[in-house]
Amino acid sequence: MMEMKKVVLFGAGDGGLRVSYSLIGDFEVIAFVDNDSNKQGETLLGKPVLSPEKLSEIDYDFIIIANIHGDCIYEQLTMDLGVKASKIIDYYNNQIFDSRLAVLRQVADEIYYNNISGNVAELGVFQGEFAKYINKTFPDRKLFLFDTFSGFDERDIVVEKTKGFSNSQTGEFINSDIEIILKKMTVKENCIFKKGYFPESAIGIEEKFVFVSIDVDLYMPILEGLKYFYPRLEVGGYIFVHDYNSTRFFGAKQAVREFCLENGARFVPISDLCGSAVIVK
- Examine the domain organization and report whether 167 and 193 are in the same domain: yes
pLDDT digits (tens, 9 = 90+) for 166-222: 999 999 888 889 999 999 999 999 999 999 999 999 999 999 999 999 999 999 999
Q: What is the CATH number of the domain that holds 62?
A: 3.40.50.720
Residues 6+ apart with CB under 8 A from 7: 23, 27, 28, 29, 30, 60, 61, 62, 63, 64
Are 81 and 133 in the same domain? Answer: no
Beta-carbon contacts of 124 under 8 Å, excluding residues fewer than 6 positions away, are: 146, 147, 213, 214, 215, 216, 217, 221, 242
Q: What pLDDT is stored for residue 69 in this prediction?
A: 80
**Sign for the pseudo-dihedral over CA of 35, 53, 15, 76:** positive
Q: Are 100 and 134 in contact (CB under 8 A)?
A: no
Rounded to whole angstroms, the Cα distance separating 44 from 76 reads 22
Q: For the chain, how many structural domains are there in total? A: 2
State whether 78 and 136 are in the same domain: no
Residues 225 and 175 occupy one common structural domain:
yes
Question: Helices 154-163 and 219-229, interaxial angle, to 10°?
Answer: 110
The residue with greater pLDDT, 266 or 23, is: 266
pLDDT given for residue 158 in this prediction: 97
- CA distances to 18, 63, 185, 234, 239 from 198, rounded to whole Å, are 30, 43, 23, 21, 17
The answer to whether residues 177 and 245 belong to one domain is yes
pLDDT in tens, 69-93: 888 999 999 999 999 999 999 987 7
Examine the domain organization and report whether 26 and 57 are in the same domain. yes
What is the pTM for the complete model shown? 0.80
Burial call 154-170: b when 16+ CB within 10 Å, e when fewer: eebbeebeeeebbebee
Q: Which domain holds residue 257?
A: 99-280
Query: What rounded mean pLDDT belongs to the chain?
Result: 94
Say whether 97 sits in a helix, a strand or coil.
coil
pLDDT band at 107 (very low <50, low <70, confident <90, very high): very high
Report CA dihedral (150, 154, 158, 160) to the nearest 10 degrees: 0
- Say if residue 6 is exposed, middle or buried (CB neighbours under 10 Å; 0-12, 13-18, 19+): middle
Please report the pLDDT score of residue 75 as a whole number.
Answer: 92
pLDDT in tens, 7-60: 999 999 988 998 998 887 889 999 999 999 999 999 999 999 999 999 999 999
Beta-ladder partners of 80:
none
What is the predicted pLDDT for the residue at 99? 86
